[in-house]
Copies of this chain bind each other. A is one copy, B any other.
Amino acid sequence: MTGFAEIDGELAVGGVPVSRLAERVGSTPFFAYDRGLLTDRVRLLRATLPADLQLKYAIKANPMPAVVQHLSGLVDALDVASALEMRVALDTPMPPEKVSFAGPGKTDAELRQAVAAGVTIELESENEAARIAATGAALGIRPRVAVRVNPDFAVKGSGMRMGGGPQQFGVDAERVPALLKELAATDLDVLGFHVFAGSQNLRADIIGEAQRRTVELLLRLAGEAHDPVRYLNLGGGFGIPYTEKDVALDLAPIGANLGELMDEIRPRLPEAQVVIELGRYLVGEAGVYVTRVVDRKESRGKTYLVVDGGMHHQLAASGNFGQVIRRNYPIAVANRIAEEPAEQVTVVGCLCTPLDLLGDNVTLPSAEVGDLVVLYQAGAYGLTASPTAFLSHPAPAEVLL
């Protein structure tokens, strides 16, 4: 499951063994992301997906500025979900028009910043359209928008169901033609459409079906557009494996399917930039969360490793972020990565709650106080998706190597 190298019997990130990295960082716990793995992942996508399909990074998955800077040189576009994320994106060399801003609850202040920046606002409702038009008029700037469409189909088997039925996201597909008529009367530059049908999906057939139905829907809606369609955001939803149960996504059939879809789109919408928007899939496997063993204790026949990190930094790994059934995320003793598994232990965080469970009855090499325990798959929705102020421990460092 891990693309990280091993150096001198230790896990290495960006060529640096983790124990040395911990000295360099100066404190544990911390997150470490591997620049090479980010680059490799984009290369893999480029090699598998159609050449003229654009890749967008949804920075919500990991908004660390250094990560966003690195990816900005590799992908074609960035997506942001808040004013601060927009600032991080605009601090990269990425041109503003290649930055999109999505989200169902954008405030007037955020819309004003987005219009002033010249980013593409993915509008989520008729009300938001009117507010964007008013903002554009007030600033004397023609806002760039795309219509986020709530699709009239649902993707089944997804870890998270986002398309179909009533939703807070976007405008219902069947109401889009009427909205497009209204938009034609405003001074908005309507570039195209966005559909996001699902998230964290590991099945290529389901992703393929969602993309096919998305393209059908968008080609239909494009017929109602007033201006030529220059932007089609097909969403993403490519998952990564987190537990032993998970099988990694097979990218090849997705690439083949997208090839066929591009062949359909090109002649009908020759001006359209077609975009796949990925967050977790780009960064999730490129990061580890590094903790240090503070205590090793026995309790009624069970061995506990107590580490100095915990659910306040990696909530999902504790099984408490939306999961119904908790499963262990991959875990290792980073400075004993070459040693054979020797014992069953339970790895817990430093918080004063039984929820703070990082590895339940996991088999690891024999670890001692001072050893470094890492959780893999920590590159996406780790630090920012965790309650960092819970029990007021220091914030962990983040490093990119």
Residues of A within 8 A of B (CB): 60, 63, 81-85, 88, 102-107, 124-128, 150, 160-162, 165-169, 172, 199, 294-297, 299-302, 304, 306-308, 310, 315, 320-322, 324, 346, 348-355, 369, 381, 383-394
Copies of this chain, whole number: 2
* A308 neighbours in B (Cβ, 8 Å): 105, 107
Assess the A300–B166 pair: CB atoms within 8 A.
Answer: yes
* A165 neighbours in B (Cβ, 8 Å): 300
List of 4 A-B pairs having minimum Cβ-Cβ separation, nearest first: A105-B350, A166-B302, A84-B392, A166-B299
* A105 neighbours in B (Cβ, 8 Å): 294-295, 306-308, 310, 348-351
Report the nearest B residue to A355, measured CB to CB: B322
CB distance from A143 to the nearest CB of B (A): 17
Q: Could you jot down 16 A-B contacts, CB within 8 Å?
A: A82-B392, A84-B393, A84-B394, A85-B391, A88-B392, A103-B350, A103-B391, A104-B306, A105-B307, A125-B295, A150-B300, A167-B299, A167-B354, A381-B390, A385-B390, A387-B387
Q: Known contacts A294-B106, A384-B392: does B304 contact A168 (CB below 8 Å)? A: yes
Assess the A160–B354 pair: CB atoms within 8 A.
Answer: yes
A103 and B297 CA atoms in complex are apart in Å by 14
Assess the B389–A104 pair: CB atoms within 8 A.
Answer: no
CB distance from A69 to the nearest CB of B (A): 16
Apart from A105-B310, A168-B354, A320-B322, what 14 extra A-B contacts exist at CB < 8 Å?
Answer: A60-B352, A88-B392, A104-B352, A106-B294, A107-B308, A124-B295, A127-B369, A150-B299, A166-B301, A172-B299, A384-B391, A385-B390, A387-B388, A388-B389
A85 and B350 CA atoms in complex are apart in Å by 14
Q: In terms of DSSP, what is the predominant structure of the interface of chain A?
A: loop
Contact pick for A168, options B63, B162, B166, B297, CB 8 Å: B297
* A352 neighbours in B (Cβ, 8 Å): 60, 81, 102-104, 169
Q: Known contacts A103-B350, A168-B299: does B315 contact A387 (CB below 8 Å)? A: yes
Assess the B295–A104 pair: CB atoms within 8 A.
Answer: yes
* A307 neighbours in B (Cβ, 8 Å): 105
Report the nearest B residue to A128, measured CB to CB: B295
* A82 neighbours in B (Cβ, 8 Å): 391-393
CB distance from A255 to the nearest CB of B (A): 26
* A63 neighbours in B (Cβ, 8 Å): 392
* A386 neighbours in B (Cβ, 8 Å): 387
Report the nearest B residue to A394, measured CB to CB: B84
Report the nearest B residue to A293, measured CB to CB: B105
Report the nearest B residue to A315, measured CB to CB: B387
* A107 neighbours in B (Cβ, 8 Å): 294, 308, 350
A349 and B104 CA atoms in complex are apart in Å by 8
CB distance from A369 to the nearest CB of B (A): 7
* A390 neighbours in B (Cβ, 8 Å): 60, 381, 384-385
CB distance from A124 to the nearest CB of B (A): 7
* A302 neighbours in B (Cβ, 8 Å): 166
CB distance from A81 to the nearest CB of B (A): 4
A167 and B302 CA atoms in complex are apart in Å by 8
CB distance from A386 to the nearest CB of B (A): 5
Report the nearest B residue to A291, measured CB to CB: B105
A306 and B128 CA atoms in complex are apart in Å by 11
Assess the B321–A324 pair: CB atoms within 8 A.
Answer: no
CB distance from A190 to the nearest CB of B (A): 19
* A297 neighbours in B (Cβ, 8 Å): 124-127, 168
A381 and B390 CA atoms in complex are apart in Å by 8
Report the nearest B residue to A383, measured CB to CB: B389
